[in-house]
Amino acid sequence: MDSLRLDFALPLRSFRLELALEVGRETVALVGPSGAGKTTVLRAIAGLARPERGLVRCGGETWFDSAAQVDLRPEQRSVGFVFQDYALFPHLTVRENVRFGGDGEGLLDRLGIAHLAGVKPAQLSAGERQRVALARALARDPSVLLLDEPLSALDAHTRASVRAELHGLLHDLGLPALLVTHDYADAAALADRVGVLVDGQLVQVDRPEQLIAEPASPFVADFTGVNLLVGTAKPRVDGLTEVELADGTRLLSTDRADGKVGAVVYPWEIALSREPPGDSALNHLQAAIASLVPVGNRVRVSLGGVTAEVTAASADRLGLRVGDTTVATFKATGTRLVPLG
Amino acid sequence: MRRQAFATALVAATALALAFLALPIAAVFLRVSPGHLFAQLGNPVATDALLVSLKTSAIAHVLVLVLGTPTAYLLATNRFPGRSLVLALIELPLVLPPAVAGIALLAAFGRFGLLGGTLHALGVGIPFTQAAVILAVAFVEAPFYIGGGIAAFEAVDRNLLDAARTLGAGPARVFARVAVPLALGGLAAGSALALARGLGEFGATIIFAGSLQGVTQTLPLAIYAQLDADFDTALAIGALFVLIGATVLVALKVVPRWTRSASISLSRSVPSASS
């Protein structure tokens, strides 16, 4: 069985990272706030950080076992590591980068970077660098793929297309893959299962939609507390994408997509008002308020299947009460599309 | 009115400083004709000194490069207790008067020095030989190279070294294929500074190695020896040094320019034209 099994503890500055997880031939995303220890998990698997105790096994091989005093060096572990910002060797060409770890000639074609083979990383776009980093990591024919924030260096425009590419590649590879991201939308789009890591503890591991539907803790709800509106996407000639929801509501998004999608909107990107906005570029939903939940100095307002988060002051100013009909508005740029199915 | 006066004072101070710095350099070349200067370099004292300097500097420099590069790499990539003490030790020769370096080398390797007895028993005598010149030169120039090397290796992104490890490279391959190529600009700059300092070495050499023509008399020692005997020859050697120094300075300005392409920022984001 080609699976990756982790069960280790590693003290960090302000908390202990403790984690037990098994990754089969699937993609698991670790999400959580920055500083939660996500990157350290990847580094411990690769042998770049040393757990205090526990074990890391991959397939039939033991990479780390504190009880048996096994600790393979990084170069002895069959990992493909895609670093945040990609860590391409600036003094080597694309081909030399990819071939650093093994014969990656076929990967240049497969990832569509063969025409860049003689170019140095400085001349590449962020999207191209990401593909070079993937090709380089895969050239070693690794047993496990580790990806640290693989999309964070990309601008919003390239991000959606690269995300779709990466999703296809991870599916085709059929390798155990562990990816780290602070963006729940990326995790939901790329991973079969998502683990929420908070202060070094794995709070919940579940399928992305399950995590939203049944959060195990208030924190998970807060973190994954994104709005996921299922609908059908259709590209428009003006470059925007129109999403028709089940109830006939139409939303606009700047992400490109076609077919069944989840429209992801963060609660803090939704504004509330009494009257529909005059600006037609804004998405809006009109519904009665189902609940009002104060969270610190903010209020989470549920209406018509979405949750908005507004400051307590603006909730007071609007005089919001349960049952009031209110308009929720959000921008097309704040409406992210995640392919579903 | 007052602002005008200050501006004038600034310019006057700068002009005076520049004149003070440039006058002696100009005097080296203006006192006698360039043809005469060049002819004086054919004087056996000058040619002997040139050969001794080139040989001892080359050997000392190779020693410094071979031992200093790994030293700089180890100190740049590892944190351990007592590290700052080690760094201070490496920098110490920078602040020591060269004469003290000479005395210290005698105390270590001299006939009655720390290792002198052992060396003497083995039939090896170092003081007042070319080996002594090489040790003196290496002693004073090593801090320049190791210091520059540590800064150069520290500037290499740690993620690149880690990435190489995860791609199957052992520590030696990471050093040779990633760390050294990326630190090359800084290493070259340190190397040039060290070489210039080594060629100019005077105080430690005259105390530890003496000034014997054709054996231990390097170019700076030859200038000193010729002061009374033949001022023009001393001047010609001086002119040679000015040219070497100017070459090193120009090289230091040029080297960072051609290595900058190898150390680009990875976070630079260029919009994709092909996707």
Cα separation, B109 vs A173, whole angstroms: 65
Cα separation, B33 vs B28, whole angstroms: 10
- What is the average pLDDT score of chain B? 88
Contact: B170, A128; criterion CB under 8 Å:
no
Is residue B269 in a domain?
no
Alpha helices in A10-116 (DSSP H): 38-46, 94-98, 105-110
- CATH number of the domain within which B120 lies: 1.10.3720.10
- Dig out the tokens for A21 from the structure: 């997880």
The answer to whether A265 and A285 are in contact (CB under 8 A) is no
Kindly write down the DSSP assignment for every residue of A134-169, as one continuous string: HHHHHTT--SEEEEESTTTTS-HHHHHHHHHHHHHH
- Indicate if the pLDDT at residue B274 is higher than 60: no
pTM confidence score: 0.76
**Total residue length of chain B:** 275
CA of B63 to nearest chain A CA: how many angstroms apart?
A: 27
Lowest mean pLDDT among A273-277, B83-87, B222-226: A273-277
Question: Exposure pattern of A215-253 as b/e (b: 16+ CB <10 Å)?
Answer: beeebbbebbbbbbbbbebeeeeeeebbbeeeeebebbb
Residue from the list A77, A90, A136 with its beta carbon closest to the beta carbon of B263:
A90
Query: Pairing state of beta strands A283-295 and A298-303?
Result: antiparallel
- Indicate if the pLDDT at residue B72 is higher than 90: yes
**Residues of chain B contacting A73 with CB distance shorter than 8 Å:** 165, 170
Q: How many CB pairs (< 8 A) connect A and B?
A: 102
CA of A173 to nearest chain B CA: how many angstroms apart?
A: 18
**Residues of chain B contacting A101 with CB distance shorter than 8 Å:** 166-169
pLDDT at B35: 86
- Give the mean pLDDT of B103-126: 86
Name beta bridge partners: A228: A264
For residue B12, give every residue at least 6 positions away whose Cβ sits within 8 Å of its Cβ, in sequence order, or none.
none
Contact: B275, A161; criterion CB under 8 Å:
yes
**Residues of chain A contacting B271 with CB distance shorter than 8 Å:** 125, 155
Cα separation, A262 vs A245, whole angstroms: 10
Is A285 exposed, middle or buried, given 0-12, 13-18 or 19+ CB atoms closer than 10 A? buried
Give this complex's ipTM: 0.77
HSE of B33 in the Cβ direction (CA atoms, 13 Å)?
A: 3
Minimal Cα distance from A161: which residue of B? B275
Q: Which amino acid is at A192?
A: D
- Indicate if the pLDDT at residue B100 is higher than 60: yes
Cα separation, A171 vs A167, whole angstroms: 6
Q: Tell me the three state secondary structure of residue A15.
A: coil
The answer to whether B215 and B146 are in contact (CB under 8 A) is no
Cα A196 to Cα A219, A224, A253, distances in angstroms:
9, 9, 27
CA of A133 to nearest chain B CA: how many angstroms apart?
A: 10
- Residue B228 banded pLDDT, cuts 50, 70, 90: confident
- Residue B188 banded pLDDT, cuts 50, 70, 90: very high
- Residue B254 banded pLDDT, cuts 50, 70, 90: confident
What percent of chain A is predicted at pLDDT more than 70? 96
Q: Give the count of domains, chain B.
A: 1
Domain span at residue B184? Answer: 52-216
- Residue A265 banded pLDDT, cuts 50, 70, 90: confident
pLDDT at B271: 35
CA of B260 to nearest chain A CA: how many angstroms apart?
A: 10
Q: Tell me the three state secondary structure of residue A100.
A: coil
Cα A236 to Cα A161, A245, A336, B200, distances in angstroms:
16, 16, 16, 74
Q: Tell me the three state secondary structure of residue A175.
A: coil
Kindly write down the DSSP assignment for every residue of B57-106, as one continuous string: HHHHHHHHHHHHHHHHHHHHH---TTHHHHHHHHHHHHHS-HHHHHHHHH
Is residue B40 in a domain?
no
Is residue B203 in a domain?
yes
Contact: B167, A100; criterion CB under 8 Å:
yes
- Give the mean pLDDT of A19-48: 92
Is residue B146 in a domain?
yes
- Give the mean pLDDT of B147-171: 96
**Residues of chain B contacting A86 with CB distance shorter than 8 Å:** 266
- Give the mean pLDDT of A31-49: 91
Cα separation, A124 vs A31, whole angstroms: 28
Minimal Cα distance from A75: which residue of B? B168
The answer to whether B208 and B218 are in contact (CB under 8 A) is no
For residue A269, give every residue at least 6 positions away whose Cβ sits within 8 Å of its Cβ, in sequence order, or none.
A330, A331, A334
Contact: B272, A125; criterion CB under 8 Å:
yes
Q: Tell me the three state secondary structure of residue B240.
A: helix
Alpha helices in chain B (DSSP H): 2-30, 34-40, 44-77, 83-95, 98-109, 116-121, 130-154, 158-166, 171-174, 180-199, 203-208, 219-229, 231-259
**Residues of chain A contacting B178 with CB distance shorter than 8 Å:** 89
Q: Within the 135-174 window of chain B, which residues sit less than 8 Å (CB to CB) from chain A?
A: 157, 159-160, 162-170
Cα separation, B142 vs B119, whole angstroms: 23
CA of B259 to nearest chain A CA: how many angstroms apart?
A: 9
Is residue B232 in a domain?
no
- Indicate if the pLDDT at residue B275 is higher than 80: no
Minimal Cα distance from A144: which residue of B? B166
pLDDT at A116: 96
Q: Tens of pLDDT along A86-139?
A: 999 999 999 999 999 888 889 999 999 999 999 999 999 999 999 999 999 999
- Give the mean pLDDT of B242-258: 77
The answer to whether B170 and A75 are in contact (CB under 8 A) is yes
The answer to whether B230 and B41 are in contact (CB under 8 A) is no
Cα A304 to Cα A109, A221, A289, A308, B38, distances in angstroms:
47, 18, 7, 11, 94
Contact: A75, B170; criterion CB under 8 Å:
yes
Is residue B114 in a domain?
yes
Mutate to test the interface with B, among A43, A48, A116, A166 (most CBs of B within 10 A): A48
Is residue B104 in a domain?
yes
Is residue B62 in a domain?
yes
Question: Exposure pattern of A188-204 as b/e (b: 16+ CB <10 Å)?
Answer: bbbbbbbbbbbbbebbb
- Residue A218 banded pLDDT, cuts 50, 70, 90: low
Domains and their CATH numbers in chain A: 4-78+143-223 (3.40.50.300), 227-265+280-339 (no CATH)
- What is the average pLDDT score of chain A? 88
Using CA atoms in the order A113, A115, A118, A120, what is the torsion angle rounded to 10 degrees?
-50
Residue from the list B166, B266, B269 with its beta carbon closest to the beta carbon of A74:
B166
pLDDT at A312: 86
